[in-house]
Amino acid sequence: MPFAELKLALSTKLAEAFGYNLDRGRIDKAVHPFSSGSGQDVRITTRTNPTDPFNCFYSTIHEVGHACYEQNINADYLLTPLGGGVSMGVHESQSRIYENQIGRSRAFTSWLYQQMVEAFGDFGVADAEAFYGAVNRVNDGYIRTEADEVQYNLHVLMRFDLEQALMSGDLQVGDLEAAWNDRFEADFGYAVDKPSNGVLQDVHWPVGLFGYFPTYSLGNVYAGCLNEAMRDALPDLDNKLATGDTEDATRWLRQNVQTHGGLYEPREVIEKASGQVPGPAPLISYLKEKFSDIYKL
């Protein structure tokens, strides 16, 4: 089987492992991954990169987080104002916790490593621990959707500041590319090489989605709160994830977040699920603990 088809086959296996119901959805390829639909028809796209299988796998898991939120809303709410995700911030909390706190955990990546060995043979990574480090590596990169957890929110902050300047009239659209390039080099320390790696990489502004980018960081903050509560509630979770079994985690999220749809206000959903007022402390603690361990800091 060709390499791209192998990646898509494993990508589909990952989607099903996280509870995505293909009887009410499908997976296709696109330049920019996305999830679309609700209720009985929730579809996702992913993308492939000839040199980077993680791009495909974690794009898929991220979009499955969105899709499962929509698929798992209480069926009584279908075709009503309550029958969709309550906010994009809560939506992003689901995609980010699926992708990162669950999908990039040491336990789950040990299972994923074995799946990759079975699919691709020797792919140049010595063992599961080295694979865990590779999946979570902090590295230079232009693309927000491919950014590591440590730097991801820097991409969002940059876009937020540029958006504010555009909306206030302090920045003209014709000057946006230059402003992006200057800000990116100042924040990240290296220059953008081409527009597709810079101002043209996201679809949001061209389709009018201004004010959208902060929901990604809000989703990360929410995911930190949810992960802390989920881990407290499921002390044996890692043993399950190490076998590729995400059911305990996805059931907890389904029962505590997803089923409610639009029944509660966004902050109330997270507060009810996590038992705390949403704030950044759990996310910061998670990031410090995880990456201090990986990099022996």
Q: Which residue has tokens 């809000």?
A: 218
Q: Is 27 helix (H, G, I), strand (E, B) or coil?
A: strand
- Rounded Cα gap, residues 277 and 83, in angstroms: 25
Q: Which residues of 137-167 are buried (b: 16+ CB within 10 A; e: fewer)?
A: eeeeebebbbbbbeebbebbebbbebbebbe
Q: Which residue has tokens 């959707």?
A: 145
List the catalytic residue out of 5, 16, 63, 99: 63
Cβ 166 vs Cβ 176: under 8 Å: yes
Q: What is the torsional sign of CA 285, 290, 293, 297?
A: negative
* 63 classed as catalytic: yes
Residues identified as active-site? 63
